[in-house]
């Protein structure tokens, strides 16, 4: 045997020995545990090779049906993973045991390489997480604070209506502006007056590039953190160069509006906002450190960069559903006409008197939950559930999409049918409200959920009251209905579609424009 063949043979033998040792260690680690049911695993890869590149939530739902249980166990490379497919299991584990289930896996790609480490959604549970969460809770869960935002929500809803009447073909842009404008005002005191607002474009670009390049916990570097040390000149480091490019965009998104507020505070022209409030809180004690500034940027940025994207996804889903299910829209319009009339626009006080519209909003959340898999949790210590052992260190994935497709809860789940909630008794309707799922679980539940939900409601109620939404027609006059498909990804948006949006009457146009002109914050 020549020397080169000898070296190759030795290398192959060494690789085989290492692989065998890893495999045996892997088998031994699981041998004493009664793990939840799940798909068969192979050495080294575990189950990662069984996952599709997109729409993993559908695969997880299929596993749940195949292995007949609320939870499914898998391994993605070396990482033990628990997939939660039922609302009950999510409440039992992520809610009742939140003290051990509220941590985050190591998001090396997103946090360390892309620069999202200062936002609370990606932080593991600890003191910094609690500080950020307290700041956001103070801004969004205090009853007085929520009520103080209502004039802003009204104003932006009326601007949305005006835009939809004047340029209906740009409905998705108007929806994005609506969602971003409220967050920009609250976070930075900045009024978004144009569809081309530079801060909105910054947030959109950072979010879009992040989501398109890699979801939390799915890139190789998250499973093999040593890869983050690969030099940029080495073959295979392309993922790292791209991550650094995105980090520059993320950094600009976080820094630019923060510096705008800081400069305005120095000149005495700052508008009341979350960033100014947090800066004043720190300044009352000391000069802000680099960590203080990063914390403030991250707290404002998590609103600016993420929550508006989810609100726009929900409202776009509403428009799509109304195009595909015109009978639902007509029924909602009839209810609003009966309760509100046509001489004014719906307001927050009307909500309890519009039960069918409430069912429509619930069904929008259920039919296309905005974040199908949430953000993975991490179990910090060993646990047991339903007689099974769950290893500490497991990545825990709440399959929210699968929960909203539970056909024992929601018969014919692919259908958009708000009446399903009318047909439930009060206790069942409350227990199966999709808002118990789509905003997360336990200590990781979205602290701004009440604000987000009321923002969606005021927009939907006013659109129903003032606009007709229908299938678009092509140049030949034939109807061109949308496919009703959704773009897979971290946030689920409807695929691009067209529709016809018109004011219900000239009187409605007058009411909208007069109300918009008279609204004062």
> What is the structure's pLDDT at 408?
93
Convert the pLDDT of each residue in 102-120 to its tens digit. 999 989 998 999 999 999 9
250: part of which helix (H) or strand (E)? Answer: helix 238-267
pLDDT over 70 (residue 215)? no
Q: Name the pLDDT band for 22 (thresholds 50, 70, 90).
A: low
| pLDDT more than 70, % of the chain | 92
pLDDT over 90 (residue 170)? yes
> What is the structure's pLDDT at 9?
47
pLDDT over 80 (residue 15)? no
Q: Decide which of 1.10.357.10, 1.10.630.10, 1.10.8.60, 3.40.50.1980 is the CATH code for 33-518.
A: 1.10.630.10
pTM here is 0.90
pLDDT over 60 (residue 212)? yes
| From 211-215, 437-441, 443-447, 497-501, the region with the lowest mean pLDDT | 211-215
Average pLDDT over residues 476-491: 85
Convert the pLDDT of each residue in 39-78 to its tens digit. 999 998 999 999 988 889 999 999 999 998 899 999 999 8
Distance CA 480, CA 499 (A): 8
pLDDT over 60 (residue 240)? yes
Q: Name the pLDDT band for 511 (thresholds 50, 70, 90).
A: confident
pLDDT over 50 (residue 12)? no
Of 346, 369, 329, residue with least CA distance to 499: 329
Find out whether 158 and 467 touch, Cβ atoms under 8 Å: no
Average pLDDT over residues 312-332: 97
Distance CA 244, CA 256 (A): 18
Find out whether 357 and 463 touch, Cβ atoms under 8 Å: no
Q: Name the pLDDT band for 305 (thresholds 50, 70, 90).
A: low
**Residues present in the chain in total:** 521
Q: Is 499 annotated as a binding residue?
A: no
Q: Name the pLDDT band for 200 (thresholds 50, 70, 90).
A: confident
pLDDT over 60 (residue 217)? no
CA 293 to chain CA mean position, Å: 25
> What is the structure's pLDDT at 205?
87
| All structural domains of the chain with their residue ranges | 33-518
- The dihedral sign for the CA sequence 255, 114, 451, 333: positive
| DSSP conformational letter for 349 | G
Find out whether 216 and 111 touch, Cβ atoms under 8 Å: no
Distance CA 121, CA 302 (A): 8
pLDDT over 50 (residue 1)? no
Residues 77, 92, 423: CA angle, nearest 5 degrees: 115
CA 359 to chain CA mean position, Å: 21
pLDDT over 80 (residue 307)? no
In degrees and rounded to multiples of 5, residue 409 shows phi and psi of: -85, -40
Token couple for 150: 């209502």
Pairing of strands 79-84, 395-398: parallel
pLDDT over 50 (residue 282)? yes
Average pLDDT over residues 12-38: 62
Convert the pLDDT of each residue in 390-445 to its tens digit. 999 999 999 999 999 999 999 999 999 999 999 999 999 999 999 999 999 999 99
Distance CA 19, CA 9 (A): 15
Secondary structure string (H, E, C) spanning 82-140? EEECCHHHHHHHHHCCHHHHCECCCCHHHHHHCCCCCCHHHCCCCHHHHHHHHHHHHHH
Distance CA 214, CA 428 (A): 37
Distance CA 330, CA 96 (A): 41
Average pLDDT over residues 146-175: 94
* Cα dihedral 303/307/312/318 (nearest 10): -140
Question: Measuring CA to CA, how many Å separate 360 from each of 20, 317, 413, 421?
Answer: 55, 11, 14, 9
Average pLDDT, the chain: 89
Find out whether 463 and 161 touch, Cβ atoms under 8 Å: yes
| pLDDT more than 90, % of the chain | 68
Convert the pLDDT of each residue in 259-280 to its tens digit. 999 999 999 999 999 999 999 9
């Amino acid at each position: 045997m020549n020397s080169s063949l000898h070296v190759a043979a030795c290398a192959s033998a060494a690789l085989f020995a290492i692989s065998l040792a890893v495999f045996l260690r892997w088998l031994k680690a699981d041998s004493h545990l009664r793990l939840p049911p799940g798909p068969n695993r192979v050495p080294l890869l575990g189950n990662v090779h069984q996952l599709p590149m997109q729409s993993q939530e559908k695969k997880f739902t299929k596993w749940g049906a195949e292995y007949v249980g609320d939870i499914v166990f898998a391994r993605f490379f070396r990482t033990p993973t628990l997939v939660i497919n039922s609302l009950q299991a999510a409440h039992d584990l992520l809610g009742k045991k939140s003290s051990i289930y509220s941590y985050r896996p190591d998001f090396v790609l997103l946090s360390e390489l892309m620069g999202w480490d200062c936002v609370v959604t990606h932080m593991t549970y600890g003191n910094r997480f609690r500080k950020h969460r307290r700041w956001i809770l103070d801004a969004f869960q205090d009853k007085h604070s929520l009520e103080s935002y209502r004039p802003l929500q009204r104003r932006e809803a009326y601007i949305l209506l005006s835009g939809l009447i004047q340029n209906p073909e740009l409905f998705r842009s108007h929806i994005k502006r609506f969602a971003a404008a409220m967050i920009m005002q609250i976070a930075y005191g900045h009024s978004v007056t144009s569809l081309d607002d530079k801060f909105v474009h910054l947030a959109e670009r950072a979010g879009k590039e992040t989501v398109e390049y890699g979801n939390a916990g799915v890139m190789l570097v998250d499973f093999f953190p040593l890869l983050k040390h690969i030099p940029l000149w080495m073959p295979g480091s392309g993922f790292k160069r791209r991550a650094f490019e995105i980090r520059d965009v993320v950094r600009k998104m976080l820094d630019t509006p923060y510096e705008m507020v800081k400069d305005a505070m120095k000149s005495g022209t700052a508008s009341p906002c979350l960033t100014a409030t947090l800066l004043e809180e720190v300044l009352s004690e000391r000069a802000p450190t680099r960590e203080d500034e990063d914390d403030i940027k991250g707290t404002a940025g998590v609103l600016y960069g993420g929550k508006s994207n989810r609100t726009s996804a929900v409202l776009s889903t509403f428009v799509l559903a109304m195009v595909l299910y015109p009978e639902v829209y007509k029924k909602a319009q009839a209810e609003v006409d009966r309760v509100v009339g046509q001489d004014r626009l719906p307001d927050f006080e009307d909500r309890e008197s519009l039960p069918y519209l409430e069912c429509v909003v619930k069904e929008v959340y259920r039919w296309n939950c905005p974040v199908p898999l949430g953000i993975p949790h991490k179990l910090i210590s060993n646990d047991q559930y339903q007689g099974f052992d769950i290893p500490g260190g497991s990545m825990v994935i709440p399959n929210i999409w699968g929960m909203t497709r539970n056909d024992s809860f929601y018969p014919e789940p692919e259908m958009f049918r708000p009446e399903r909630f009318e047909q439930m008794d009060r206790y069942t309707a409350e227990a199966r409200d999709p808002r118990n799922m789509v905003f997360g679980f336990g200590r990781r539940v979205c602290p701004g959920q009440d604000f987000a939900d009321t923002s969606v409601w005021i927009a939907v109620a006013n659109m129903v009251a003032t606009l007709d939404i229908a299938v678009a027609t092509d140049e030949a006059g034939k109807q061109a209905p949308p496919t009703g498909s959704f773009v897979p990804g971290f946030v689920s948006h409807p695929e691009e579609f067209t529709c016809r949006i018109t004011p219900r009457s000239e009187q409605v146009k007058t009411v909208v424009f007069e109300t918009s002109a008279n609204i004062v914050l």
